[in-house]
Chain A
Amino acid sequence: MKKRILSPRKDQEKGTLGVTGWIVCLIFVVYTLILLMPYIYALFSSVSDYKEYYMSIFPFPKDGLKLSNYVDAWQNLKHEGTGIFEMIINSLWFAGGSALLGVFLSTCGAYVCAKYQFRGRKFLYWFALITMMIPIVGSMPSNLKFISAMGVYNSRAYIFVTASTIGATFIIMYSCFQNVDWAYAESAFMDGAGHFTVFFKIMLPQVISPMTALILSDFILFWADVESSLIYYPELPTLATGLYHFRSFVITAEGMRRYPAYFAAILLCVIPTVTLFSIFQKKLMDIQLSGGLKG
């Protein structure tokens, strides 16, 4: 009789969990549908007219796709004179600028702390760690005062004053640089390279993957931020803020007919983050899956 050899490694590789596995799989399928259904609903709503939208449980464009809703959204999504194009520019500026600036400036400090010996480097590291861990509640009022005092309230220069330069990103980049071999830099110094050349041409390219991942996750976070826009730069609405205001309009009797256009605007707002994710998804997911960030 042929003996069956128990091979757990093979079992795990194949993913055989027996009945539990299939029950979990079923739950995951249902949950995936729950996650995706609202966006499918939004997509169909955005190409229906308002009658189709209101009359049926699931809006379905019977007389062809009403792509005019997207044109309507593009032309009429406005808040106090700011149109959708300006909102996109504001979103790109505040989300992209804050993400790029925050990660780059944190990287500068993290690099010298990780690779150079100087007085105060431990203090900087511990300060970053402590700010990450100590829960400060309610600094919003004084932050607003600070922003006003610096003269960047309602200004595009806001990102230069508020860029996070010492915190979680600093700590992550610090550990990234610790994993980068200093021998590359030493060779470059021997060849006559200066400190800035070594930093920009040798060390920075070696941590570009984690930097990209951090910039991307910060960008997604800032892109969605409505509160900061409402408090610190209310006259420069971003796309997310525009949608927030637009919703206040469509729930009124006057604006009800514009629901399909509202959904079109919603989907337009999703495009940048989903596109960025599609381009960098492998990098982003691989970095998180590796359980941390390594250079």
Chain B
Amino acid sequence: MKLDSKVKSKLNRNIFIFIMIIPALYGIFRYFAVNGYSILLAFSDGEPFREPFTMRNFRMFFQDMQGNGILALALKNTLKYFVVGLIQQFLCYVVAYFLYKKVPGYKIYRFTFYLPCLIAPVITTAIFMELIRVGGPLYKIMDEVFGIQFNNLLARPETATNTIIAFMFLSGIGTTYLIFLGAMNRIPKEIIEAGKLDGCSTWREFWSLVFPLTFGTYATFFLMSLCGVFAASGPILYMTQGAADTTTLGYWLFTQVMGDSYNYPAAVGLVFTCLGIPILLISRLIINKANPEVTY
């Protein structure tokens, strides 16, 4: 009887575990199904197994990358947005530092800098485009005050990407600054006090104390940015739909899927995935070596 209850209890426990991990198992199945099928699509010209396997998509990719084709342009723009993302991340860190130092009104900034993240890009971009359109408020101000007239900034290749980048800086810094601020708040006060007593200036404190002590958090976010190096993009869909040489890899993939083209984008995705993994691993190795081993 006692054994029965033990067996029953174990059975209940195992059933419970199984039920609870079903979603995770499904997640694994979906991951392999989607990415496995993506690989098959990359090596095919239609439905995998119905059409013969081929390397045509990869040959096409390398040809496209050699010229001044759309893919080369998309990659160039993607890397631009990636760099912009890294700069924004560092700015976030600097903002967090000054909030940590409690600049006058820091509680208000902590809140207002968060607000743009609540609003959908389709909205922020729409308002921004209205502000900068020909005949819009910015145009009128520039014309009436400075006598400068500009053409449609988003319609010309020489200004479109820069305008989108400017929008990204002006529309918010994301929520990462709160995480950095949290990491800075955990630094023991005694360390900062000791620095002050030794005559540390604000910048010295920033570079020699705060940055090394929170490097782990910063490095984690830096690595996470690297994970998305080939997915970096601005709000292309809402602002230009890829016109005026603004397309990125992410947007190009989106348009391909919308245009019912699956094999070639799958091959392009596979190549960039293969390129992304070593970049990530090498960066991780370098960061781990550079990371000052600090415990507090």
Interface residues of A (CB under 8 A from B): 6, 8-9, 11-15, 17-18, 20-22, 24-25, 28-29, 31-32, 34-36, 38-39, 41-42, 45, 54, 57-58, 105-106, 108-109, 111-113, 116, 118, 120, 124, 127-128, 131-146, 161, 163-167, 170, 194-196, 199, 217, 220, 223-224, 226-227, 230-231, 240, 243-244, 247, 259, 262-263, 266, 269-270, 273-274, 277, 281, 285, 288-292
Contact = CB atoms under 8 A, between A and B. Distances in A.
A135 B258 contact: no
A221 to B, nearest CB: 9
Main secondary structure of the interface of B (DSSP, over half): helix
Contacts of B115: 35-36
B276 A227 contact: no
Contacts of A262: 126
A226 B235 CA distance: 11
> Which range holds the interface residue count of chain B?
35 or more
A226 B35 contact: no
A8 B127 contact: no
Contacts of A137: 230-231, 249, 253, 268-270, 272-273, 276
Interface of B: 12-14, 16-17, 20-21, 23-24, 26-28, 30-31, 33-35, 37-38, 41, 95, 98, 101-106, 108-124, 126-128, 130-131, 135, 137, 140-141, 144, 170-172, 175, 178-179, 181-183, 185-186, 189, 192-193, 195-197, 202, 217, 223, 226-231, 237-238, 249, 253-254, 256-258, 261-263, 265-266, 268-270, 272-273, 276-277, 280
B37 A142 contact: yes
A146 to B, nearest CB: 5
A13 B95 CA distance: 17
A87 to B, nearest CB: 12
A112 B122 contact: no
B141 A57 contact: yes
B22 to A, nearest CB: 8
B262 A142 contact: yes
Contact of A135 (B120, B257, B276): B276
Contacts of A25: 103-105
Nearest to B102: A15
Chain A contact residues: helix, strand, loop or mixed? helix
Nearest to B31: A131
Nearest to B138: A57
B61 to A, nearest CB: 11
Given A108-B20, A165-B24, A288-B182, A135 B230 contact: yes
B38 A142 contact: yes
B170 A34 contact: yes
Contacts of B122: 224, 226, 240, 243-244, 247
A164 B265 contact: no
Contacts of B262: 141-142, 144-145
Nearest to B37: A142
A163 B131 CA distance: 37
29 contacts: A12-B102, A12-B189, A28-B98, A32-B108, A34-B170, A41-B127, A57-B137, A108-B21, A112-B17, A124-B28, A135-B227, A135-B276, A137-B253, A137-B270, A137-B273, A138-B272, A140-B265, A141-B265, A145-B262, A146-B33, A146-B37, A165-B27, A195-B16, A196-B16, A269-B123, A285-B114, A288-B179, A289-B182, A291-B186
Contact of B227 (A29, A127, A133, A139): A133
Contacts of A274: 118-119
B276 A144 contact: no
Contact of A165 (B23, B35, B186): B23
A93 B106 CA distance: 37
A289 B109 CA distance: 14
A263 to B, nearest CB: 8
B143 to A, nearest CB: 10
A244 B257 contact: no
B112 A108 contact: no
Nearest to A267: B123
Given A28-B109, A35-B172, A288-B182, A109 B280 contact: no
B196 A36 contact: no
A289 B273 contact: no
